[in-house]
């Protein structure tokens, strides 16, 4: 049938989704994720008990939004319910965690005003939980965050909407970076310019732990670099310095400079690697573009290198005292490791955690059980420095802690929560630099999780899943919505 007879006389075809206004449900989804990320960032990075509960309540709205979308006849008609296939690993994780709560491995004993947890007989062949109530709370938070971010891929139909979301989130990250920088430069002794005492001396901005701040900023910087490359590719009559791309570069400068200033050595390395990748990408793009027009590449490449070096020096100069202090601390740690042999306390912690995991290799000790279960496996119960009791709340390796808490079975299904959607959208992952940089940021945090615990922070969890679901969905959407 010809195009002229495809529709009845006087009836035009339905416009593509990128030309239709956002629905109320799409707007609610975008606002909901924005609120979740922004509130988490300002509420101690989601790492205070009250803020984690608040974020769990906010995240719970994600399930209601998902259920509302299921009632949409339009979504069913357009075949947009397919992403629901991605949720089966999350369902299995929920079944395992809930089943484990019926097989407690520890019981609480009251000693005056203190609570002690002692091992109790349990079924060794069935999933168990050391702290069933904590497991429910952590599962509540995880489900809310996952479904809220999943809705970005399930409901949103426009690339522009996703970019707008991350423009808002990047702006929020810049404000946090400026806030933290000012706080550091005036010598604040606590969070919010000293209004709140920090339980960790190396805090930054609103985050209790500097390595968590670093992980959050690596994710947001990767997203911002992706946005810059999107706007650079667009033909804009306003010129580069009046375009959003230039504003993005300024944002990257503030974000990147905050990481060494925070004192996070590991995240400074990650940030440097991310910026080098972005710079090499820029140079390669510049060379190809100049050669296509048969123009000289020497001057623009030299100018780009000079700007990159200037930015690096600015970041170093503003954080010089903290950088030099952390370098000195690193040298002292290396000297102690050489004198003692091995890798010091961290290696012992990993070894003890692995012994914990080997005790229950299939289903682990239960979600959120690590601090309780690890106590009896801790061979470093007294600090060699001051002789005080040393308790570990985290394994300083999220991968190792996941195996200890969920076993190999549970950890596999946790990984499938990301791998299944990644598999279904694998063909769309190379469609845009924005997608590529979002996934690069996620990959860096997953790599970092081998030697630290970024996912011990609520805000990092939220931002990770927001970046992930936006990345896998963005390339699938109609590229015409870029205009």
pLDDT of residue 366: 94
Residue with more model confidence, 76 or 93 = 93
pLDDT of residue 23: 93
Q: Is residue 9 assigned to a domain? A: no
Q: pTM for the full model?
A: 0.91
Residue with more model confidence, 10 or 379 = 379
CA angle 60, 172, 441 (to 5 degrees): 80
Q: What is the mean pLDDT of the chain?
A: 88
Q: Is residue 118 assigned to a domain? A: yes
What integer is the mean pLDDT of 463-479?
Answer: 91
pLDDT of residue 334: 65
pLDDT of residue 331: 67
- pLDDT tens readout for residues 41-71: 999 999 999 999 999 999 999 999 999 999 8
Q: Is residue 105 assigned to a domain? A: yes
- pLDDT tens readout for residues 322-342: 777 777 776 676 666 666 666
pLDDT of residue 229: 92
Q: How many CB atoms lie within 10 A of CB 186?
A: 9
Q: Is residue 6 assigned to a domain? A: no
Instruction: Examine the pLDDT at 355 and tell me if it is beyond 60.
Output: yes
State how many domains the chain has: 1
pLDDT of residue 18: 59
Q: Is residue 15 assigned to a domain? A: no
pLDDT of residue 289: 80
pLDDT of residue 19: 66
- pLDDT tens readout for residues 96-132: 999 999 999 988 887 766 777 888 888 878 999 999 9
Q: pLDDT category, 5, cuts 50, 70, 90?
A: very low
- pLDDT tens readout for residues 257-308: 999 999 899 999 999 999 999 999 999 988 888 887 777 788 888 888 888 8
- pLDDT tens readout for residues 385-427: 555 567 888 999 999 999 999 999 999 999 999 999 999 999 8
Q: Is residue 393 assigned to a domain? A: yes
Q: Is residue 291 assigned to a domain? A: yes
Q: pLDDT category, 3, cuts 50, 70, 90?
A: very low
- Residues of the domain holding 53: 23-482
16: left (phi over 0), alpha (psi -120 to 50) or beta: beta
Q: Is residue 475 assigned to a domain? A: yes
């Amino acid at each position: 049938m010809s195009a002229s007879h495809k529709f009845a006389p006087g009836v035009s075809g339905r416009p593509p989704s990128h030309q239709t206004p956002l629905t109320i449900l799409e707007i609610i989804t975008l606002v909901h994720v924005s609120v979740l990320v922004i509130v988490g960032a300002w509420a101690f990075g989601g790492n205070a008990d009250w803020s984690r509960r608040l974020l769990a309540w906010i995240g719970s709205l994600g399930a209601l939004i998902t259920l509302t979308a299921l009632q949409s006849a339009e979504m069913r008609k357009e075949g947009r319910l397919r992403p629901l296939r991605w949720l089966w690993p999350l369902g299995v994780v929920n079944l395992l965690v809930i089943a484990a709560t019926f097989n407690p491995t520890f019981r609480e004993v009251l000693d005056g005003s203190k609570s002690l947890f002692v091992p109790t007989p349990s079924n060794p062949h069935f999933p168990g939980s050391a702290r069933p109530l904590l497991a429910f709370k952590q599962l509540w938070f995880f489900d809310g965050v996952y479904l809220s971010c999943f809705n970005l891929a399930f409901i949103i139909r426009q690339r522009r909407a996703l970019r707008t979301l991350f423009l808002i989130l990047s702006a929020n990250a810049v404000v946090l970076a400026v806030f933290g920088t000012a706080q550091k430069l005036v010598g604040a002794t606590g969070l919010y310019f000293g209004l709140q005492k920090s339980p960790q001396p190396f805090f930054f901005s609103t985050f209790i732990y500097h390595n968590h701040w670093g992980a959050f900023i690596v994710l947001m910087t990767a997203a911002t670099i992706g946005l810059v490359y999107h706007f650079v590719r667009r033909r804009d009559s306003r010129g580069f310095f009046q375009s959003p791309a230039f504003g993005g570069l300024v944002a990257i400068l503030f974000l990147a400079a905050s990481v060494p200033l925070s004192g996070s050595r590991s995240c400074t390395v990650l940030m440097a690697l991310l910026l080098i990748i972005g710079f090499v990408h820029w140079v390669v793009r510049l060379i190809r573009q100049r050669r296509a027009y048969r123009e000289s590449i020497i001057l623009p490449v030299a100018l780009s290198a000079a700007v990159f070096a200037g930015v690096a020096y600015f970041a170093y100069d503003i954080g010089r005292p903290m950088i030099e202090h952390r370098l000195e601390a690193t040298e002292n740690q290396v000297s102690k490791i050489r004198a003692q042999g091995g890798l010091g306390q961290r290696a012992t912690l990993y070894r003890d955690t692995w012994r914990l995991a080997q005790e229950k290799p299939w289903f682990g000790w239960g979600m959120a059980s690590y601090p309780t279960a690890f106590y009896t496996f801790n061979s470093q119960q007294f600090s060699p420095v001051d002789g005080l009791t040393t308790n570990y709340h985290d394994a300083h390796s999220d991968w190792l802690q996941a195996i200890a808490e969920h076993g190999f079975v549970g950890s596999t299904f946790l990984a499938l929560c990301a791998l299944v959607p990644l598999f279904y959208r694998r063909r769309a992952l190379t469609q845009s630099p924005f997608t590529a940089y979002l996934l690069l940021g996620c990959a860096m945090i997953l790599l970092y999780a081998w030697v630290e615990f970024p996912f011990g922070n609520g805000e990092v969890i939220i931002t990770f899943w927001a970046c992930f679901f936006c990345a896998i969905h963005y390339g699938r959407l109609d590229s015409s919505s870029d205009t």
